[in-house]
Amino acid sequence: MAELAVDKHFKYILSVEKNKDSFESVVMDHLRMNGAYWGLTALDLLGKLDSVNVDEVISWILKCQRESGGFSGNIGYDPHILYTLSAVQVLALFNKLDVLDIDKVATYITGLQNEDGSFSGDMWGEVDTRFSYIAICCLSILCCLDKINVEKAVSYILSCKNLDGGFGCTPGGESHAGQIFCCVGALALTGSLHYVDKDLLGWWLCERQVKSGGLNGRPEKLPDVCYSWWVLSSLIMIDRVHWIDKEKLVKFILDCQDVENGGISDRPDDAVDVYHTYFGVAGLSLLNYPGLKAIDPAYALPVDVVNRIFFSG
Amino acid sequence: MHGRPRKAPKPEEEAASVAKAQKLRALQTQFFSFHHNKIYTKEAVELSAKLLEINPESYTAWNYRKLAVEHYLSQPDCNPDLIKSVLDDELRVVENALRQNFKSYGAWHHRKWVISKGHSSVDNELRLLDKFQKADSRNFHAWNYRRFVAESMKRSEQDELKYTEDMIYKNFSNYSAWHNRSVLLSALFEKKAEGFLSKEKVLPEEYEFIHQAIFTDPDDQSGWFYHLWLLDQTVTTDSPLLASSWPGHGYDVLLVEDRCYNGSAFSPFTALHSDSGSFPIVLYFNQPVGGVSSSTVTVECGFNKNEDLLWKPLSASNSQTARVWVAHLKIPSSDLHSTVEVSVGHSKGIISTRGFEYSHPSMFSFKVRVQPMERDFSQVSVAESISLREENFKIYGTQSEESIINSFNQLSIKNGHESTASNWRSEALAKEIECFRELLSLMDCKIGKLTLARLLMAYDVMSYPFANKLVHSEEVLELYSDLMKLDPTHYQYYKDEHSMVLLQKYKDSVSSAICGPICLRLNNLSLSRMGAFEKLLWVQMLDLSDNELQSIEGLEAMQLLSCLSLRNNKLRSLTALEPLRKLKLLRVLDISYNQIGDHSIDTTRYLCSSPLSHSVGSESNKDETVTSGVALIDNWEAFYIFKDFNLNQLDIVGNTIADEKFKSVLVKIMPKLKQLDGKLLG
């Protein structure tokens, strides 16, 4: 079986960070904050976070904070809840949450909660359970979850529960592994997993594993390394991960590596990117791959980072 | 980011890419200048369209366009024609962007935002959707948008149902269409719409429909989950029922207030040893319910006031709903033989999580008596180690098979529930069983075997609710064994199901399993999962050693447990012990020879009460910390799990975590512990 090419991936991630002029980089300009989270968390899992210039990163993050308290995807862009979470997660990685005016960030997020408990992504009102997860995760990291109406947030998420046990982006939306991760994660963080029919959802999730050993995101779709995170972390949170063949999945992820140039792709022999590199490494961590730091399935941050937030003095 | 082949770029490709990048960069810079300076001229707005055509994911450009639209619509010279032209423009830009990337969240949301201004028509939008759904019938953005259009333009569920039918006839392999169908049907059932009043008439047609999908290509998953939903609709009665209780109806309970298990006299029926001054009444429902309280459940007895009873749900700390509820009665001081009558649901208020009321009030009664104290307990030392492998099981004597079977018949609650001759349900199941047997005779397929196993179990449970024997257990066990070979990827799923069926069936082998009315041996059965709890509420000593349990989910229902052995199983973390926190009578626990400490990933991390999930119960003091010398960050699992335990005896040897340092932490967390790994403490 192939091995994880730790050094290659480490160098690949650093190169992505530096290369701001390729078409690929420019076209992803608007979500650089997400990219920072993917790249840096992957580096931490690989044990290489100290190769990064912390001050540079933090100074750039703070430049992305807008008047409303929310963060934008990159300098110049509008704020959005998506990038606010990534910013907070990166600061947590570096144990630098204290550079934040927590009230300011919390006010931005609480302002995005709607009457029915759902969350909008920004002032323009798009509603999606992804944003519910983001709000709950972000405020949990900042230790002020009680600033939102948690009960209503949970009941909105439950209104997106489908008859197959899964969750969609809005009520009636088809079950999709990404949405399921967000909803199960949000329910996990609010002590509400008892609302999940774990056997029903567990079966739906374990049937994402196809013959090649990879996982797809919904029935009759192609497998993709990023589902090694969305499906796997969901299975772990509901304690049903033993229902898939973990070894076969490890092999699939390792087959998606570019062992010459570094990086991981969605499927074997496809082009790599930092998004799939992160999800591949995170998936391997969840599968107990040796040499990787353990990652928390709900906060999507290394376990030691999460424990530091909740259990140190 | 998806589906692009991996290949090293040629030099001319690289050069072209850099040129494209520079062009895009220039566009972005220019765009920002307009956006930050709030410039909404025709030229500026056109530039944003160019940007979005190249990169529909550039979300700020969509925001800018909304600001531009608002700017134009607020002009004093605004008129309907101008509005129409402005909004038409937006719709055109969205269509162009979607052509680039028909999964762009920003594009779809922009269209919704424009439509909300009341501009386009249903036909226009459906035409657009048709185009996209032809290109990709699984595009969930399109399906979401379709639901949005149907709702805001008041299309009927019946029309939308017809649409799903058309899509499915074009191609059965369309999970999105089946999903939408399930949403629409549920809504129609709930509304009690015309033509959908009786599931009895609608479900058989749906079964016919779904068979076409499954039987055409049994390996295609599109129909599996819809079929499972139909099965659930067939089997599950709307209103919740009381499945079981402890004490059971007709029980004669002797309350023994000591901790010594050495040969106390006991009644032929059941003796409960309790050192807590109270004993539990446990209600086990067939689905999670809320609203169980002294108003909705009345307990009439001479020695307790009903209003004083506090009913608690046995679920994670935040939850107000559970399948199992418990209340504690104080042990009477006199030694009279008292009768207790429990009425469940005579007033409204018990509601299932699906929203249905408990509509069949039930009643059961039992007798209670206190064993007169024969010795001075203050002088009795509880130093003896209690081992579940020993004579203790025999002390309680074996019962004749007959009297034990009688005791199970007594488990039946006096329920005034809907007659078990719900013919259409059993008929529907019988028909399905026939169809799947036929399928399996033609081809050996996973979904055939799995569905048949589920159907047979459901049929047995429905048709023989109080039987001692489940008719099809052997066949079901064989089907799951077959599946473990046929589909090894999902081996553990079938193993868990197999274990659950095995437990359901244990009633058959009463004499070998039971050593007394309070002890149960379930060791060495290769069990990977526990179940059948509604039948096990009476157990006080449970031996689950030498199995393959990696979870004890559901064990919290066994409120009478005082001794439990999980020795030599596959428990992977301390957090997996969460269900035991609710067992207030647990005094002896053996978790030796498991895998606690072997794994870096904890699969029950969020299924236990802790600050991580904001679920530390209200009874816990927020400022509580571990005693001095014990760092919470290194021992939080042990702290949150064990701090409320009241154990006398614990065995933990054979787990990687159980080194001397950890054992000393445990002793600090549980100061009342008297024995650890066979060593006397204190």
The 10s digit of each residue's pLDDT in B329-354 is 988 777 778 899 999 998 999 999 88
Q: Which of these, B525, B513, B540, B502, lies nearest to B404 by C-alpha position?
A: B513
> Which residues from B are below 8 Å from A273, CB to CB?
1
- Same domain for B523 and B484, yes or no, is no
Residues B591, B567 contacting (CB under 8 angstroms): yes
Which residue in the block uniquely carries the two structure tokens 């990696």?
Answer: B550
Chain B residue whose CA is closest to A27: B55
- Evaluate whether residue B644 is within a structural domain: yes
Domain A6-311: give its CATH code.
Answer: 1.50.10.20
- Same domain for B650 and B600, yes or no, is yes
Q: Which residues 6+ apart lie within 8 Å of B492 measured at CB? A: A242, A243, B528
Which residue in the block uniquely carries the two structure tokens 């274990």?
Answer: B499
> Which residues from A are below 8 Å from B493, CB to CB?
202-203, 206, 243
- Same domain for B538 and B673, yes or no, is yes
B316 and A275 in contact by Cβ < 8 A?
A: no
- Same domain for B289 and B429, yes or no, is no
Pairing between β-strand B414-415 and β-strand B362-370 as defined by DSSP bridges: antiparallel
> Which residues from B are below 8 Å from A24, CB to CB?
17
Write the CA distances from B62 to A26, A130, B291, integer angstroms: 17, 19, 48
- Same domain for B492 and B542, yes or no, is no
- Same domain for B530 and B667, yes or no, is yes
- Same domain for B248 and B274, yes or no, is yes
Q: Which of these, B177, B376, B158, lies nearest to B258 by C-alpha position?
A: B376
B36 and A76 in contact by Cβ < 8 A?
A: yes
Least confident of A44-58, A136-150, A222-236, B419-433: B419-433
B5 and A269 in contact by Cβ < 8 A?
A: yes
Rg (C-alpha) for chain A, rounded Å, is 18
Chain B residue whose CA is closest to A247: B489
Write the CA distances from B393 to A23, B538, B647, integer angstroms: 74, 15, 20
- Same domain for B587 and B600, yes or no, is yes
Residues B506, B473 contacting (CB under 8 angstroms): no
Amino acid, single-letter form, for residue A79: P
Which candidate in A126, A147, A299 is best for mutational testing of the B interface (most B CBs within 10 A)?
Answer: A126
> Which residues from B are below 8 Å from A270, CB to CB?
2-6
d(CA A296, CA A44): 13
CATH number at residue B581: 3.80.10.10
A30 and B60 in contact by Cβ < 8 A?
A: yes
DSSP B171-202: -S--HHHHHHHHHHHHHHHHHT-TT-S-HHHH
For residue B498, what are the domain limits?
Answer: 423-505
pLDDT given for residue B621 in this prediction: 52
- Same domain for B651 and B521, yes or no, is yes
- Same domain for B472 and B524, yes or no, is no
pLDDT given for residue B428 in this prediction: 94
pLDDT given for residue B513 in this prediction: 32
pLDDT given for residue B377 in this prediction: 43
Q: Which residues 6+ apart lie within 8 Å of A251 measured at CB? A: A1, A2, A213
Which of the residues in chain B have pLDDT under 70? Answer: 258-270, 317, 372-422, 464-469, 506-517, 617-629
pLDDT given for residue B454 in this prediction: 97
- Domain edge (last residue) among B505, B539, B566: B505
Q: What is the mean pLDDT of chain A?
A: 96
Chain B residue whose CA is closest to A292: B600
> Which residues from B are below 8 Å from A307, CB to CB?
633, 636
A207 and B224 in contact by Cβ < 8 A?
A: yes
Which residue in the block uniquely carries the two structure tokens 């022999």?
Answer: A269
Q: Tell me the count of A-B CB pairs closer than 8 A.
A: 230
> Which residues from A are below 8 Å from B605, CB to CB?
237, 296-298
> Which residues from A are below 8 Å from B603, CB to CB?
236-237, 239, 241-242
B12 vs A174, which has greater pLDDT?
A: A174
B182 and A163 in contact by Cβ < 8 A?
A: yes
Mean pLDDT, rounded, for A248-265: 96
Alpha helices in chain A (DSSP H): 6-18, 23-27, 32-45, 54-63, 81-93, 102-110, 129-141, 150-158, 177-189, 198-206, 227-237, 246-255, 274-286, 303-311
Chain A residue whose CA is closest to B59: A30
B605 and A209 in contact by Cβ < 8 A?
A: no
What is this structure's pTM? 0.94
B606 and A193 in contact by Cβ < 8 A?
A: yes
pLDDT given for residue B628 in this prediction: 61
d(CA B565, CA B389): 9
Chain B residue whose CA is closest to A159: B354
Mean pLDDT, rounded, for A115-128: 97
What tokens does A261 get? 């140039």
C-alpha distance from A128 to closest chain B C-alpha (Å) = 10
Chain A residue whose CA is closest to B610: A191
Amino acid, single-letter form, for residue A97: L
> Which residues from B are below 8 Å from A287, CB to CB?
601
3-state secondary structure A35-78: HHHHHHHHHHHCCCHHHCCHHHHHHHHHHCECCCCCEECCCCCC
Residues B10, B33 contacting (CB under 8 angstroms): no
Whether this model's ipTM surpasses 0.85 comes out as yes
- Evaluate whether residue B128 is within a structural domain: no
> Which residues from B are below 8 Å from A285, CB to CB?
601
Q: Which residues 6+ apart lie within 8 Å of B13 measured at CB? A: none
- Same domain for B497 and B537, yes or no, is no
What tokens does B170 get? 């074009």
- Say which of A77, A164, A242 has its CB closest to residue B225: A164
Q: Which of these, B110, B116, B68, lies nearest to B92 by C-alpha position?
A: B110
C-alpha distance from A113 to closest chain B C-alpha (Å) = 18
- Which residues make beta-bridge pairs with B245? B283
Q: Apex CA B432: angle with CA B430 and CA B437, to 5°?
A: 95
- Same domain for B534 and B659, yes or no, is yes
- Domain edge (last residue) among B480, B505, B530: B505
Q: Which residues 6+ apart lie within 8 Å of B547 measured at CB? A: B522, B523, B524, B525, B526, B527, B528, B568, B569
What tokens does B277 get? 């001054």
- Evaluate whether residue B399 is within a structural domain: no
Quick one: DSSP state of residue A24?
H
A289 pLDDT band (50/70/90 cuts)? very high
Number of structural domains in chain B: 3
Least confident of A218-227, A232-241, B191-200, B386-395: B386-395
Q: Which of these, A270, A276, A229, A225, lies nearest to A16 by C-alpha position?
A: A276
Q: Which residues 6+ apart lie within 8 Å of B121 measured at CB? A: none
Which residue in the block uniquely carries the two structure tokens 């376990």?
Answer: A303
Write the CA distances from B187 to A159, B163, B191, B231, integer angstroms: 13, 16, 6, 17
Q: Which of these, B421, B502, B518, lies nearest to B465 by C-alpha position?
A: B421
Chain B residue whose CA is closest to A206: B490
pLDDT given for residue B469 in this prediction: 59
Which candidate in A27, A34, A144, A269 is best for mutational testing of the B interface (most B CBs within 10 A)?
Answer: A27
> Which residues from B are below 8 Å from A202, CB to CB?
493
- Domain edge (last residue) among B505, B531, B563: B505
pLDDT given for residue A299 in this prediction: 98
- Evaluate whether residue B303 is within a structural domain: yes
